[in-house]
């Protein structure tokens, strides 16, 4: 059975479509280590959509890079991060927030320690 090509277009168009609460917000494209994200910020919430291909990424491996991308765009501290390896949502603390990461083209981030639902993220500018 052959399907017309136009029947698949809605599926392809949804690859980088933001969630309903982030529609109408222009994305900011950020590269952190080997990952590239479109980040949208709406008040104290943010969404990061990973755009690049990676072989079998785990959420635990991609999450620190997603959090760093959100922090870089928002200038706020990520207090909670959830989702999967393709689309991450974050709760932001902009009041007492952490200072933004230093400006630069990209950062190298490592997950230092996981404890419960939280993790320590170490990000350094790439040389």
Residues in the chain: 127
What pLDDT is stored for residue 12 in this prediction? 46
The residue with greater pLDDT, 82 or 117, is 82
Q: Where are the domains of the chain?
A: 22-125
* 60-69 per-position pLDDT tens digit: 889 999 999 9
What pLDDT is stored for residue 105 in this prediction? 53
Q: Which residues contact 113 (CB under 8 A, 6 or more apart)?
A: 119, 120
- For 46-96, the DSSP string reads EEEEE-S--SS--HHHHHHHHHHHHHHHH-SEEEEEEE-SSEEEEEEE-SS
């Amino acid at each position: 059975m052959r399907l017309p090509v136009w029947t698949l277009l809605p599926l392809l168009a949804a690859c980088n479509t933001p969630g309903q609460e982030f529609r109408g917000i222009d994305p900011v494209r950020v590269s952190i280590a080997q990952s590239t994200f479109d980040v949208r910020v709406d008040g104290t919430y943010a969404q990061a959509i990973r755009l690049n291909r990676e072989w079998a990424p785990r959420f635990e491996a991609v999450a620190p890079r997603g959090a760093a991308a959100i922090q870089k765009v928002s200038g706020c501290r990520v207090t909670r991060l959830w989702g999967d390896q393709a689309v991450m949502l974050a709760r932001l603390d902009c009041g007492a927030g952490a200072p933004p990461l230093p400006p630069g083209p990209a950062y190298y981030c490592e997950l230092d320690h996981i404890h419960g639902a939280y993790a320590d993220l170490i990000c350094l500018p790439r040389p």
